[in-house]
Amino acid sequence: MPPKRRKFQRQLGQRRYRKLFVIAVEGVKTEPQYFAIFNDQQSVIRVNCLKGSHGSAPPKVLKRMEEHLRKEGLKSSDEAWLVVDKDQWTDEQLALLHRWAQERNNYGFALSNPKFEYWLLLHFEDGTGITSSRDCSERLERNLPGYDKGIDSSKMTRDRIDDAIRRAKLRDNPPCSNWPRILGSTTVYKLIERILDFS
């Protein structure tokens, strides 16, 4: 008697869980475009980027995150991160975000000094000698011709992301305990390492 053939049946309603990273940012274009790079249907992670608005101060970024978490909740296995620029924001404003990030071990806070474009610059060069926000933008444009608050995701390869992490760590040595105060430094690498740990 031939052996019985097993039927392949997938249980309805059962989907593989994807770790969620909720990231609240200041910008409306650059940061959401960058973090979208990590959203891949095959990946075990999902990135939900809460867009800002032009001139979005750190307390507004925090408020957007808190409102989102109140409505949507957050599993203990998921993570929530605030990502802002140093810009002209005061230590008092940034301390508010840092305190929030200390409340739970699945919360995080990442800052780029002077701005997020510094993190992007590290994908292409070591980022030393930055003198201003404008200097940062001009140097990024030399590496990404035509860059205007938009990112060509094909330029952000895994090798370049790894280079940016390595360069950021060299600049953040010893690692800062709250946020980078030195012009030409960033802690965005900490978030990206967390994302890559699970991708």
pTM over 0.85: yes
pLDDT at 1: 53
Residue 4 lies in a domain: no
Q: Which residues contact 3 (CB under 8 A, 6 or more apart)?
A: none
Report if residue 12 sits inside a domain. no
Give the range of the structural domain holding residue 63, as residue numbers without chain letter.
Answer: 19-198
DSSP 8-state class, residue 102: H
Letter string b/e over residues 82-103, b meaning 16 or more CB atoms within 10 A of that residue's CB: bbbbbbebeeebbebbbebbee
Q: What is the three-class DSSP state of 78? A: coil
Residue 9 lies in a domain: no
Count of other CB atoms within 10 angstroms of residue 64 = 19
Does residue 166 form part of some domain? yes
Burial of 135: CB neighbours in 10 Å, binned 0-12, 13-18, 19+: middle
Task: State yes or no: pLDDT of 93 exceeds 50.
Answer: yes
Based on the structure, what is the number of domains in the chain?
Answer: 1
Does residue 55 or residue 89 have the better pLDDT? 89
Confidence class of residue 9 from pLDDT cuts 50, 70 and 90?
very low
Q: Is 11 inside a domain boundary?
A: no
Q: What is the mean pLDDT of residues 44-51?
A: 87
* pLDDT > 60? residue 54: yes
Confidence band for 7, pLDDT divided at 50, 70 and 90: very low
Residue 41: what pLDDT?
63
Q: In which band, very low, low, confident or very high, does the pLDDT at 10 lie, cut at 50, 70 and 90?
A: very low
More confident residue, 11 or 167: 167
Greater confidence (126 vs 150) lies with 126
39-48 core/surface letters (b: 16 or more CB in 10 A; e: else): eeeeeebbbe
- Does the residue 6 lie in any domain? no
Nearest residue to 164 via CA among 111, 110, 113, 118: 118
Q: Give the CA angle between residues 39, 79, 15 to the nearest 5°.
A: 55
Nearest alpha-carbon partner for 184 in 170, 197, 174, 194: 170
Q: Is the pLDDT of residue 20 over 90?
A: yes
Identify whether 55 is part of a domain: yes
Residues 198 and 193: their CA atoms lie apart, in Å, by 9
Alpha helices (H) in 42-157, listed in sequence order: 58-72, 91-102, 116-121, 133-143
pLDDT number for residue 55: 63
User: Tell me: the pLDDT tens digits for 129-155?
Assistant: 999 999 999 999 999 987 876 788 888
Mean pLDDT over all residues of the chain? 88
**Which residue is it, tokens 């097993």?**
6
In a domain, 146, yes or no: yes
pLDDT at position 146: 79
